[in-house]
Amino acid sequence: MTREDARASASTSDAKLPLLLAGVACALGTYAAWRAKATNAFKASYALAWLTLGPAAILYAQPDRDELEKTLRAKNAGGVVSAEAREAQMRAMRGVAAGGEGARGGET
């Protein structure tokens, strides 16, 4: 991982909690404004709640980048496919898509 990747990963993990707290505060403000029948305050806090809670939920739901890279490397460790094998796979898929003999498994 490069320094830029590490900085990007650190910045997103640092932004999780403040976004979540800001989103919860906006959601509480939305409820308070609704109860007080303050239309403009409700609209503003509702918009801010969407803009903060949405990204916070996505940041908490997505897997950690380091863990994801580790998992993908482990899956691909022994399965390096050569360019020739990949081309053969592509030709076979094109044959199936075109309805050629590959679609019927070689039967005529």
Q: Tell me if 98 is assigned to some domain.
A: no
Which pLDDT value is given to residue 5? 59
The whole-number average pLDDT for the span 5-33 is 83
Q: Tell me if 105 is assigned to some domain.
A: no
Q: How confident is the model at residue 108 (pLDDT cuts 50, 70, 90)?
A: very low
**What is the 3-class SS of the chain, one letter each residue?**
CCHHHHHHHHHHHHHHHHHHHHHHHHHHHHHHHHHCCCHHHHHHHHHHHHHHHHHHHHHHHCCCHHHHHHHHHHHHCCCCCCHHHHHHHHHHHHHHHHCCHHHHCCCC
Q: Tell me if 39 is assigned to some domain.
A: yes
Expressed as residue numbers, the domain containing 23 is 3-62
Averaged confidence pLDDT in the chain: 82
Give the pLDDT confidence of 51-82 residue by residue, as tens digits.
999 999 998 888 888 888 888 887 776 666 67
Q: Tell me if 88 is assigned to some domain.
A: no
Question: What is the number of structural domains in the chain?
Answer: 1
The whole-number average pLDDT for the span 24-41 is 94
Cα-based torsion angle of the residue sequence 83, 88, 94, 99 in order, rounded to the nearest 10 degrees: -170
Q: Tell me if 20 is assigned to some domain.
A: yes
Q: Tell me if 77 is assigned to some domain.
A: no
Q: Tell me if 78 is assigned to some domain.
A: no
